[in-house]
Chain A
C-alpha cells in the first residue's frame, strides 16, 4: 500500500514540473492535448540520438514524373534528426536496397524511411533490408507518396510536391519515436482439427494425416460424406460419386493419424494459433482436445425452396435438382414425355442486408438467425451459386441417356457454363436438350392441367412470345446456401462472414484459404458454392497452409500488440471488456492489486483497449499515442 502511495506521489509530481518548463520554453504552439506521460524517444544505442535516413523513390516516372523528387530530398535534409537523404530511381531494386544497407552502415542510421509506394505491398521488403543492415525492422517507416500522392494528383505537380514534403515530414516525426520491438515466438502443436466430413474435410484430413500430423476429424452427422453422399452422378465426367467418396472413406476410417469424431459438434474454441483448446459435444457428451491449427470445411446447404415457390410442395411433381438426381439414381423417373427445368430458383435475387448478418454476428441468440433465414426464403439469395447450370445440364443429359424420347427443356435467364463445362453444354445440345431464355423479372408460372400434368408458361425472350409447356416434371435449380450451423461456427471462431453469409477468406485473391484468424483455414464450400474439384483443390491448399505452420513447429507473431504499464493500471477491466480476442485478462499481481495483462500472442493489435483505458496505462506498440500525435503535429505545423 505504501509502495503504491509513493508511486502515486512521484507520478503526480513529475508532470507538473514538466508542464512548468514547457510553459516557459515553448509557449507557442500549444502542446497536443493528451496525457502528460511522454517518454523520451528511445535511442538505438546508449547515448545516441535518432539518426534518420530518408530514401525517396522516383518509381521510374510514377512518382518522379509528378513530384519534384530532388526538392523533396533537399527538404528532407532540413528536417530534425535527419542525417541522410537520397533519391533512387527504384528503391525496391537490388541497387536501391543495397544503398539503404550501405547508408545505414556509413552514416550510422538508426531509423530508415522510404518514401515510395504503399506499406501494404512493399513494407516487408524494406523491413528485411533494414534487418540485413542490423536494424530492428520496427525502426523502419514508410511514406506513401505514390498511391496517395503522385497517382492521385498527376495534374497538380506543385501541390503533389508540397504534399509529398508533408508526408515525409510526418514520417520523420513518427520515425523519431519508433522503438525496436521483439516479435514473440510461439510453439505450434503438430495436430489439427478439421471441421466437416464432406469431401473437402476428408481431403484436407487425409492430406495432413499422410504428412504425419495428428488429425481430429469432426462431423456433426453420424456418417461422413456431406453433400457428396447425397449426390449420384457428378459432372462433367458423369462418374458415380461413390467412386470418389468410397476409396477416400476407406482410408480415413482406418488411418492411424486420424481420429474420427462423428455425431460431434464443436461448441467452443479457445486459444490462439498453434495452441487451440477445443471443446466439442459428442452425442451430448463433452470432449476436449488441444490442437495447433484448424481447417473449417463445414460446407454449404442445398436450398430447400419454401412451399409455394414455383408450386414446390404443392404439386408432387415439382422437385429440386437434388431430388431429381436421387430419382434418377433409383431409376424411378421412367420415361416421361417432358421435363422442364427452371434455373436460378431462389438465387440471384434479393439483397442480404448487411445489418442482418451483423446483428447476428453480434448476438448470441438464434432468434435472429431464424429471422434472417425467413427473410431469405421470401427474397432469395443474391449471388450466383455457380454449380446449378452444370448440375441442370448433367441431369438433363442423364434423363436423355435413360430415355431419349423425353423432351428436356431448361429455362434460364443466364446460363453460366465456364471453362471445360462448355463441353457438357454442347453435349446436351447434341442430345437435343432445349434451352429457353426468359427475362429475369418475368419468371415462369406453373399451373396444373385437368389431367394432373403441369403447365409451365414462360415468355421466350429470344422468340419474343409466350410459350406454354405441358410437362410431367418441373425441376428447380436451387443454390447452395450458407449453413446455419456454419454461421454459428463463424461466431465461435471469430471468422467474419462475407456479404453473402458464407465464411470470409482473408483475401479473395492473395489468401483464398486463410482466414483473418491466424492458424484457421477454410476449405470447400464453406466460403461459397464450389463443386467437387474446386472443393478438393481448396482442401489441399488449406492443408498445405496448415502444414507450413505445423512443420515449422514455431512462428513469430507481429509485435504490434498492446502493452500495459503496471504503474498506471488500476485494474478496472474495461480493456478486458472491449477486447474481441480475449487477449487481456485481469491478474492479481500482489495482494489486493489487480492488473491487466496482455497475452501478446492472442493480441491482434487493433488498439481499442488503448483508447478505452482511462488511465493511459495501455500503449499500442508501433502505433503509440506519441507516434500518432507526432504525425498529427507534423502534418499541421512546420510547412
Chain B
C-alpha cells in the first residue's frame, strides 16, 4: 500500500537527445502548437542523431537518468543522409549493453520525429513518461 503511494509520487527524469533538423524542430512545433506534455523531459540538441555517442547515453544512465530518449529524422530524411541509420545500429548495441549493465533496455527509446510532427513528439513524451513512471527509478540510483 505504502509502496504504491511512493511509486505514484515518483517523478522520473528523462533525457531526450534531439537532432537539430527534424526532432528538435518537432519539439519546437509541439511548443508553437501548444501540445502539452509532462515536465519530466530535458532536451539536449545535437546536430544529428548520428552524433549521439553511446557514451552519452551510458553516462546519462550513470548520472541517474530514469529514461533516455533518442529522436532523429525519419529514415531517408536525415539532413546528413545517413546519420539516423548510424544511430539505429548503435541503438541495437546499446539496448544489449544496458541489459548486461542491469538497466532495463526499455528505458532507452529511439523514435523518428520529423519537423512536422509536434503532436507525435508530445505524445511520445507523455507515453515515455508514463512508462518510465511504471518502471520506477533507475536501478543504478538505488544501488
Q: What is A's interface to B at a CB cutoff of 8 Å?
A: 29-30, 32-35, 118-120, 144, 146-149, 151-156, 159-160, 162-163, 166-167, 170, 354-355, 357-358, 361-362, 494, 496-497, 516, 560, 578, 580-581, 604-608, 610-612, 620, 623, 625, 628-629, 631-633, 635-637
Contacts and interface: CB of A to CB of B under 8 A. Distances in A.
Contact of A628 (B38, B46, B86): B46
Contacts of A496: 76-78, 81
A476 to B, nearest CB: 31
B68 to A, nearest CB: 9
Contact of A606 (B13, B43, B48, B54): B48
Interface string B60-90: 1011110000000011111111110010001
A166 B44 CA distance: 12
A34 B51 contact: no
B142 interface: no
A606 B59 contact: no
B56 A629 contact: yes
Residue from B76, B86, B122 whose CB has the most chain A CB atoms within 10 Å: B76
Interface of B: 13, 15, 20, 24-25, 27-28, 30-32, 34-39, 42-48, 50-56, 58-60, 62-65, 74-83, 86, 90, 122
A531 B86 CA distance: 40
Nearest to B73: A496
Contact of B63 (A118, A355, A361, A632): A632
4 interchain residue pairs of minimum CB distance: A607-B51, A147-B31, A606-B80, A159-B39
B63 A604 contact: no
Contacts of B76: 354-355, 357-358, 361, 496-497
Contacts of A163: 39, 42
A623 B30 contact: no
A358 B50 CA distance: 17
A143 B114 CA distance: 21
Contact of B31 (A30, A148, A632): A148
A439 to B, nearest CB: 30
Contacts of A167: 42
Contacts of B46: 607, 623, 628
A494 B79 CA distance: 10
A608 B15 contact: no
A515 B83 CA distance: 18
A146 B52 CA distance: 24
A605 B45 CA distance: 13
6 contacts: A32-B63, A33-B59, A120-B25, A607-B83, A623-B47, A633-B63
A144 B43 contact: yes
Given A33-B58, A632-B60, A156 B81 contact: no
Given A34-B59, A154-B36, 20 more contacts: A29-B64, A118-B28, A118-B31, A148-B27, A148-B28, A148-B43, A153-B39, A156-B39, A160-B39, A163-B39, A170-B44, A357-B76, A606-B83, A608-B80, A625-B55, A631-B44, A632-B65, A633-B63, A635-B13, A635-B65
B117 to A, nearest CB: 13
B62 A152 contact: no
Contacts of B63: 29, 32, 632-633, 635-637
B47 A166 contact: no
A628 B44 contact: yes
Contacts of B36: 152-155
Nearest to B39: A159
B18 to A, nearest CB: 9
Contact of A30 (B44, B62, B75): B62
A607 to B, nearest CB: 3
Contacts of B83: 580, 606-608
